[in-house]
Copies of this chain bind each other. A is one copy, B any other.
Amino acid sequence: MTTMLDVTDITPRACCAPLVREPLTAEEAEQLAATMKALADPTRLRLLSIVAASEDSEACVCDLIEPVGLSQPTVSHHLKILTAAGFLTRSKRGTWAYFRLVPGALDRVSQLLVAS
């Protein structure tokens, strides 16, 4: 049985034009900055890229500890931030938590940065 936990309530901004086309409002800038902050950490970028490059874009937390060379609590902390920001979903199977890339989440951020 798969139980979804930590369902995100902060999803990357799906609205709005690319930021080069028209000035962001203060509220839009706050939202986008919060999303960017989740990405602006080298460990989180590595974890995200490992999960994304895994089969079915999913990885067990047990397979994420060794590649980044950090403790399990530290890795779990970073995964929680990526989950809260809407980039990953978390499910638990047996002893381990599994993390999966949310389809389209990175693309939405990408589209806000492009010139057209």
**A interface residues (Cβ-Cβ under 8 A, vs B):** 19-24, 26, 29-30, 32-33, 36-37, 39-46, 48-50, 52-53, 57, 67, 101, 106-107, 109-111, 113-115
Shortest CB-to-CB span from A90 to chain B, Å, is 18
Apart from the given pairs A23-B46, A106-B113, A110-B114, 7 other A-B contacts in the complex at a CB distance below 8 Å: A22-B53, A24-B45, A29-B45, A29-B46, A36-B40, A37-B40, A40-B40
Give the number of times this chain occurs in the complex, counting copies. 2
User: What's the Cα separation between A106 and B24 when bound, in Å?
Assistant: 15
Shortest CB-to-CB span from A43 to chain B, Å, is 7
User: Closest 8 A-B residue pairs measured CB to CB?
Assistant: A36-B40, A20-B52, A29-B42, A110-B113, A19-B49, A33-B42, A40-B40, A37-B40
